[in-house]
Amino acid sequence: PRAILQWNIGSYKDISHESLSLFRLLEPQIEILVLGTGDRVEWLHPTILKQMRERGIAVEVQDTPNACATFNFLTSERRIVAAGLIPP
């Protein structure tokens, strides 16, 4: 189902295993998490990405404008997707 939730993240530096727990709790389980890290792509610690993959969730990290476009495209393909977006 469609939902909008507040994700209490100020910058990409706040993204952690704990902050991503929100996305692991969604039902049905999402296939892909699109993360928009603001004005530019910021790389996340590989351990964080690995932990999500181990739970069956692919993570795509992009700048926020492109993350929005990717989210919309995946939604139009009826994929089970979520987006975590940090304003540019």
- Per residue in 46-70, pLDDT (tens digit) is 999 999 999 999 999 999 999 999 9
Is the predicted pLDDT of residue 1 greater than 60, yes or no? no
Instruction: pLDDT band for 19, please (50, 70, 90 cuts).
Output: very high
Q: Is the pTM of this model over 0.85?
A: yes
Residue 68: exposure state from Cβ atoms within 10 A (0-12, 13-18, ≥19): middle
Question: How far apart are the C-alpha atoms of 88 and 74, rounded to whole Å?
Answer: 21
Element (H, E) at 33: strand 32-37
Q: Where are the domains of the chain?
A: 12-85
Q: Is the dihedral of CA 87, 76, 32, 30 positive or negative?
A: positive
Query: For residue 7, what pLDDT is reported?
Result: 87
Bin 73: left if φ > 0, else alpha if -120 < ψ < 50, else beta. Answer: alpha
CATH of 12-85, one of 3.40.50.880, 3.90.550.10, 3.40.309.10, 3.40.1230.10: 3.40.1230.10
Task: Check: CB of residue 15 under 8 Å from CB of residue 44.
Answer: yes
